[in-house]
Amino acid sequence: MFSIEPNELLRQIAEENDRRAFRNLYDIMHKSLYDFALAIVKLREPAEEITADVFIRLWERREKLEHGRIRSCRLYLFMCVKNASLNYLRDNKRPEQLDLDQVSLADWELETNPEELMITSEMAACLDRAIRELPVRCGIVFRLVKEEGLSYKEAAQLLDLSEKTIENQIAIALKKIRQAISFKIPASHS
């Protein structure tokens, strides 16, 4: 859909005050950031406000951004959303939701494009179910690494986990997903 990477868009925003680059970055990242906020705060309106506020602050502070210090625009934006979401929970006296293990993935909808994945819509639905049925932390780690493209190091930093934990969570996720969809894949007869 977009050919310019978020890091390049961030550079254009910071160095050139480029409104089109800002709009493109918003278009690329908004849904993922909103879904991430929603998984933490569990309420649609605050999740939308958090996401909008992150983009507004990014634009307002664009001249102060030191692009070279931000190695990953995606990670930077996810960190901003995470911090804003946790601040929202703290400020609204909902500390019981601060534990990442308790965050619900029910509203963090999956965007599976069966054509892109070259699988049938039935397989896509099966894959979606398998991912939704993962333990919460495992599901969040899987989505950040496999769907959002964060590295293990970036996901570990974002979630305050070790890289080894991220690696283990991905291994668990892949094993559970394989088990869940393996019965749907017909055995090939050579």
Q: How long a stretch of residues is the chain?
A: 190
Give pLDDT, residue 1. 44
Phi–psi pair at 65, nearest 5 degrees? -70, 135
* Helix-then-strand count for the chain, H and E: 9, 0
Question: Looking at the whole model, is its pTM more than 0.75?
Answer: no
**pLDDT per position as a tens digit, 115-138:** 433 444 565 667 778 888 888 889
DSSP helix, strand, coil percent of the chain (3-state; round to 5): 75, 0, 25
Domains of the chain, each with CATH number or no CATH: 1-100 (1.10.1740.10), 110-185 (1.10.10.10)
**pLDDT per position as a tens digit, 7-46:** 899 999 988 999 999 999 999 999 999 988 888 888 899 9
In angstroms, the Cα distances linking 78 to 34, 85, 112, 135, 143 are 10, 10, 20, 21, 12
